[in-house]
Amino acid sequence: MSAQEALVPALLHVTTPSMAVVESALDAGYDGVVIDLQHGEVGLDAACRMLRAIPRGNAYAFARVASIDFGAIGRLLDSGARGIVAPTVETAGQARAVVSATKYPPLGGRSLGPSRPALYGGEDYCAAGNAAVATVVQIESAAGVEAADEILGVDGVDSVYVGPADLAVSYGLPGRPDWTSGPVADAVVHLAERARAHGVTFGLYCSDPAFAAGQVLRAGLDYVGLGIDLMFIGRHARATVAALKGAS
């Protein structure tokens, strides 16, 4: 692995409501997590507790919300989330709504009332908070790819995160990640180019580390979502049981 690849932050998707899973992922070498309120069993209260298992200065304490809900997003940010991932953004209007929910005035409409004290340092708390929090639009449909310039051109959007499985489904393909050719692979390269043109960071979910390393070079990833906790458990459990039965 090159020095460039080694420096790309890796985030684990966490779908189980467990502070221990978050701590274990960071201890294992992950740079951050995506606490997933869209898929899995993590509710809002659990997500707010899980954020407290992450050191306050970690820039990759991300939470993916189920929808653009001002109340839920505000609570996650007040509990220490440093990035909000909004799923299936397909229009500039949706992107503006995410910015409004994640940024303090004058850029957005986030309410000031942190429950985790001293989240943001500096003379201007609101400006510091806006700089510290990443507003992440997730593009995971053909419609989102087509509207990429309008979405990424919205003031306050900091990053685009690609969901390849849903993107594949929108193209009439099987819902899986790690595409090396075809419309999904082409869309990833296109979105990476548009992200650079608009000055926002670019992330991609991958399931295979070797594929992710290749995408760092091909598409220029700034960070990578790499694996899901429940899938890790299932994979290791199957291998363990198969090894036992094979040895008996």
Q: Where are the alpha helices (DSSP H) in the chain?
A: 3-6, 19-28, 44-51, 70-78, 92-102, 125-132, 142-146, 148-152, 164-170, 183-198, 209-218, 229-247
Q: How far apart are alpha carbons 83 and 86 in whole angstroms?
A: 10
Each residue's pLDDT tens digit, 112-135: 987 787 789 888 999 999 999 999
Predicted pLDDT of residue 4: 45
Q: How far apart are alpha carbons 68 and 98 in whole angstroms?
A: 6
User: The domain that contains 149 carries what CATH number?
Assistant: 3.20.20.60
Predicted pLDDT of residue 223: 97
* C-beta separation of 21 from 30 below 8 A: no
Residues 6+ apart with CB under 8 A from 202: 159, 160, 162, 191, 192, 195, 196, 219, 220, 221, 222
217 has pLDDT over 60: yes
Q: How far apart are alpha carbons 171 and 28 in whole angstroms?
A: 36
Share of the chain above pLDDT 70, in %: 97
CA 109 to chain centre: 22
Query: What letters, b where the CB count within 10 A reaches 16 and e where it falls short, cover 100-133?
Result: bbbbbeebbebeeebeeeebbeeeeebeebbebb
Q: What is the count of structural domains for the chain? A: 1
Predicted pLDDT of residue 105: 97
39 part of the active site: yes
Write down the catalytic residue from 39, 190, 198, 236: 39
Prediction pTM value: 0.94
Mean pLDDT for 223-239 is 95
Predicted pLDDT of residue 1: 39
- Nearest CA to 139 among 174, 180, 171, 102? 171
Predicted pLDDT of residue 36: 98
**CA distance from start to end of the chain:** 38
5 has pLDDT over 70: no
Assigned token pair, 44: 């809002």
45 pLDDT band, cuts 50/70/90, is very high
234 has pLDDT over 70: yes
Neighbours of 21 (CB within 10 A): 21
Domain assignment of residue 71, given as a range: 3-247
* C-beta separation of 148 from 194 below 8 A: yes
Each residue's pLDDT tens digit, 50-102: 999 999 889 999 999 999 999 999 999 999 999 999 999 999 999 999 999 99
